[in-house]
Amino acid sequence: MNRKAIRYVTSSTAAAAGSFTTAATTVAAAALAASIILSPAAQASVRLDGVQADLARAVQLNQVTPEQAAKFEAKLADRIRGEA
């Protein structure tokens, strides 16, 4: 094969592989987005349990004070309960 033919085959193969990778990535992203959108929202009590656990950990790590955690938890609890 001459050099032009080899270059053409190489570049078109690379382009096709890139297009396939892009298409596969797009499909995977769409599937993930659909699963997030269509999944049921967690119960308010489950969400509040998670918030409490996260804030307790933040207090343990001295990232927030217990008072800050309590205020933030109260704000989030109001919002979460309002959505339910």
Per-residue pLDDT reduced to its tens digit, 9-30: 556 655 555 555 666 677 677 6
Instruction: Tell me: do 47 and 26 sit in the same domain.
Output: no
Instruction: Tell me: do 74 and 59 sit in the same domain.
Output: yes
How many domains are there within the chain?
2
Instruction: Tell me: do 51 and 34 sit in the same domain.
Output: no
Query: What pLDDT does 47 receive?
Result: 87
Instruction: Tell me: do 56 and 31 sit in the same domain.
Output: no
Tell me the pLDDT of the chain averaged across its residues.
Answer: 76
Q: Which residues, including other chains, have CB under 8 Å from residue 41's CB and lie 6 or more apart? A: 83
- For 40-61, how does the pLDDT look when each residue is reduced to its tens digit (9 = 90+)? 666 888 888 999 999 999 999 9
